[in-house]
Amino acid sequence: MRVIFMGTPDFAVPALHALHAAGHDIVAVYTQPPRPAGRGKALRASPVHQAADKLGLPVRHPVSLRKNTEEWAVFDGFQADVAVVAAYGLILPQSMLDTPRLGCLNIHASLLPRWRGASPIQSAILAGDTESGVTIMQMEAGLDTGPMLLRGAVPITSQTTATSLHDALSALGGSLVVRTLTETPLPTPQPEDGVTYAQKLTREDGRINWQESASAIDRRIRALTPWPGTFTVLNDGMIIKIGAATPLPQFHHTARPGTLLDNTLTVACGEGAVRLTRLQKPGRGMMEAEAFLRGHSIPAGTVLLTAQDDDAPSAHSK
């Protein structure tokens, strides 16, 4: 088939490779424009852009598609059978949705209708879901509301992180979209029951509230690492990023949530405790707890601030 591929981040790259390997004629790749990155703020092409260049595929990166009639005409001129969209980052106007012969297909990283929206991977872990997956759906004007073509599921365990789930769903999305173009399954409307929405994440979502249970805090750390990252605040105002922790849900204590219970970074939670195993202080890289403590001792009895504390700074204050 003649395919237009539209995607930007690492999540979309396996699907581009899978479509290319399956022999489809990828007539154009749409992606976000190069952005400043790194300390030097040099322009860096998106992961999809870089992958397309290596495959020798033509790339387009309009800044906007809204009212961009010139780009609509270019899109129509490709005479594509289908457009495949995976985390592209721009909203397609109806005129573009209607252009390909078979419409536009979206690779969505959840089992729709659960977790429509911007952060389905993180939201599934945060909520304690036992499975996630990928849905290939036909795109329409609504937010992830189109009829479903294929779905595939993967388990979420107590060890699942946003990174590991991202990688599993990224690979699954590539295989499912190739199957969709081969098998052309009949579309199934999404059920009305079970609809949930995954909101766009901010840095403040990563603030640890020690009044939550150990299990909930563990899920937050696993769900929000590496982005937007989780953090806590020492009583001297220093923001400490948390990369990993071990939950101790049965740990009994009577301490105020956020209190260091020992000298090995075991922190009291609203229920149970967690032991911090990877941390990062300002200006340094992420490190194991033992290495962190060699350079910055935090004695038992220290209280880590929560979102409810009046003197707790924001994620941007340090």
Annotated binding site for (6S)-5,6,7,8-tetrahydrofolate: 110-113
Cβ proximity of 272 and 214 under 8 Å? yes
- Helical packing angle, 13-21 and 47-55, nearest 10°: 20
Helices (DSSP H) in 100-161: which residue ranges? 120-126
Distance CA 149, CA 177 (A): 9
**What does the block give as tokens for 75?**
């899109």
Element (H, E) at 171: helix 162-183
Binding residues: 110-113
Q: Which residue spans within the chain are E strands per DSSP?
A: 2-7, 25-30, 35-37, 42-44, 59-60, 82-86, 104-108, 116-117, 131-138, 148-155, 197-198, 230-233, 239-248, 266-268, 273-280, 287-288
